Amino acid sequence: MSPTPDATDAWMRRIRPHADASVRLVCFPHAGGSATYYHPLAHSLARIPGAEVLAVQYPGRQDRRREPFVDSVPLLADHVTAALNPLADRPLVLFGHSMGATLAYEVAHRLRARRPESEPRWLLVSGRRAPSRFREGTVHLRTDAQLVEELRRVGGTDPAFLDDPELLDTILPVIRNDYRAIESYRWTPAPPLTCPVTVLVGAQDPQTTLDEAAAWREHTSGPFALRDFPGGHFYLDVHRQGVADALSQALERVARPMETLGGNGR
């Protein structure tokens, strides 16, 4: 069944719209995150002619707060792929941080399965080990107090939220759901992507070692690059311009003629 425009609008937020985009950047938030997280990053991007920037809005938060959560990465990927399908008439570049990295990877495979020519032109992932590298996760099973302690440890959440009981009541169910989704995820072996993959990671990230980040190389037959930044899991909040530079370089390459991607151009 083809997705309706309403379905696409429900899942996608156009942070930097472009009526006649030549390339679309789609950003996938982390566990507990929302589309608005990417507003500062979008504004830090170099002005790439013809580039449109979108972010995925998961249900159960912000303007979708009354919708039921989705606690499965594969099911989320199915929904996002259906919503993206009408937008795949232009080259896509996918970027995801943490849980969003795994979700972007799954969406890339689903887009390719629908139409090989719809495989994203570039996949950029941040703060997440390769799908083939498994760690047991139990954060979603912890008490509220233990979950707050974990959020303080990894950063990325405004301390004002963590110190306010009323605000905590609104965000903890979202975060617990998303941790359940990513901690229950199991990679299904699949042929590697053919698009370039760029991995960004904090050198002191407790959730992703450099070896685990480098293992993303196994998931593409195309060009691969790994860049580490000083900092932990939310290094990108401090090094936003460095992340924006990596995204801008990918968008520029995709916006050029196909031969600029070497033997991988499509």
Distance between CA atoms of 64 and 42, rounded to whole angstroms? Answer: 21
Q: Does the pLDDT at position 257 exceed 80? A: no
- Burial tier of 245 (Cβ tally within 10 Å: 0-12, 13-18, 19+): middle
d(CA 71, CA 185): 10
Q: Is there a contact between 151 and 175 (Cβ–Cβ < 8 Å)? A: yes
pLDDT tens-digit readout, 68-118: 999 999 999 999 999 999 999 999 999 999 999 999 999 999 999 999 999
Domains, the chain, ordered by start = 5-135+187-264 (3.40.50.1820)
Res. 261: pLDDT tops 50: no
**In this predicted structure, what is the pLDDT of residue 5?**
52
Residue 259 pLDDT more than 50? no
Residue 264: pLDDT over 80: no
φ and ψ of 62, to 5 deg: 50, -125
* pLDDT value of position 46: 66
Per-residue b or e along 159-176, where b marks 16 or more CB atoms closer than 10 Å to that residue's CB: eeebeeeeebeebbebbb
Task: Write down the pLDDT at residue 44.
Answer: 86
Pick the more confident residue, 129 or 260: 129
Given the residues 34, 98, 118, 126, select the one marked as catalytic.
Answer: 98
User: What is the value of pTM for the model shown?
Assistant: 0.91
Assess contact for 42 and 53: CB atoms under 8 A.
yes
Over residues 121-168, the pLDDT tens digits come to: 999 999 999 999 999 888 887 888 888 888 888 877 777 778 788 888
For residue 127, what are its two tokens?
């703060």
Average pLDDT over every residue of 22-48: 91
**Encoding tokens for residue 87?**
């937008």
189-246 residue pLDDT tens: 999 999 999 999 999 999 999 999 999 999 999 999 999 999 999 999 999 999 999 9
98 is known as an active-site residue: yes
Q: How far is CA 39 from CA 45, 50, 58, 164, 203, in A?
A: 10, 18, 16, 24, 24
